[in-house]
Structure 1
């Protein structure tokens, strides 16, 4: 289930930053920023403090054309890119545009996983820095964004959370993610990014 939660946020991250303005703020991307053939591959691993591996593998996303409209493949699903880039009208959004160092906001979310488990989370968010970050896919300028708060679900699970996302406007996505929940640590890293010439 933790992998499903993280995948939800990874999708949300796709509707994240793209263009930097003169004030070093990053705006939400538009439909025109994506191209057919653009591809992202991450490796991920989730481990308990006792060393038990609960999730491990690779996650691939790619921009495709479906009946002339752009879509992003996520597993066996294809999500319209037009839906991903719609502005979030929430008062407690995942991203408060434009992104810039020092910005703070509150993120609150309710969700249902694929197995029907319902959950909520509430986190305080802060953009900590914008600097070079190196991952397996390369070196990118990235925002370091911290989410701290709580998460709970309908199965009685409740935990404090501390997540850090490194978001690179150049690739319109996160390049690294770390998440700590009680005795569980999850990490994801971009290992490949390619776009059509």
Structure 2
């Protein structure tokens, strides 16, 4: 009888843990969530269906002192961390906080590249799951967010697009991005994270 009670208790606890994983809700990171020296490194590669490599390299971001405040290095720029964590005021945001499984929204983005080309994205987004995901940097609990839509630009480009982002609250960013855009396939994966 004692073993049966322990077994039932174990099953109840396991199912409660499982329910918590499914119903997890994550708010947008705040300034207090970051620490000086925190660093992320991703590797990325983009290849056409013909095998032409269009991008291949690494991207590093790090929290640094920026005057009297904290900033984040992004490429050759340093952006105040307060700007990065500022809530996005948009009816069609990239991330619709708080994140939770089953949430759906519309993402739209208009942009201008350095050469003057303008473009836009229009995608339907959905949080599909929240579970352990493994990338080169380690194993993290992550939301799988799928975006499906179109990308167009002023040079006549028009492509269907599917993106899958794995967003890990523990590192406050995505740990993997897989994108298919027309004849182009792109993957970016977190290979190192340190605090």
For the aligned pair, the TM-score class normalised by the smaller chain equals 0.7 to 0.9
Residue 152 in structure 1 maps to residue 152 in structure 2: yes
Please give the residue correspondences for 1:1-197 in structure 2 after superposition, counting only pairs within 5 Å: 24-195=24-195
CA deviations over 1:165-197 (Å, ceiling 9, x no partner): 0000000010000000111100000000000xx
In the TM superposition, structure 1's runs of 4+ consecutive aligned residues that sit over 6 Å from their partners are none
Note the residue ranges of structure 2 that are not aligned, 5 or more in a row. Answer: 1-19
CA contact (8 A) 2:177 2:189 kept: yes
CA deviations over 1:65-85 (Å, ceiling 9, x no partner): 111111110111011110111
* Deviation at residue 114 of structure 1 after TM alignment: 2.1
* Deviation at residue 88 of structure 1 after TM alignment: 1.4
SS at structure 2 position matched to 1:188? strand
Give distance in 1, aligned partners of 2:185 and 2:193: 25
Give distance in 2, aligned partners of 1:122 and 1:152: 9
* Deviation at residue 154 of structure 1 after TM alignment: 1.1
* Deviation at residue 139 of structure 1 after TM alignment: 0.4
SS at structure 2 position matched to 1:142? strand
* Deviation at residue 115 of structure 1 after TM alignment: 2.2
Which sits farther off after the overlay, 162-171 or 84-93? 84-93
Partner residue of 1:9?
none
**CA RMSD across the alignment:** 1.4
Give distance in 2, aligned partners of 1:28 and 1:76: 25
CA deviations over 1:69-128 (Å, ceiling 9, x no partner): 111101110111101111112111111110000000000110112222111110000000
Give distance in 1, aligned partners of 2:66 and 2:97: 29
SS at structure 2 position matched to 1:170? helix
TM-score normalised per structure 1: 0.86
SS at structure 1 position matched to 2:35? coil
- Higher relative CO (Cα under 8 Å, sequence separation at least 6) belongs to 1
Note the residue ranges of structure 1 that are not aligned, 5 or more in a row. Answer: 1-19
SS at structure 2 position matched to 1:94? coil
SS at structure 1 position matched to 2:100? coil
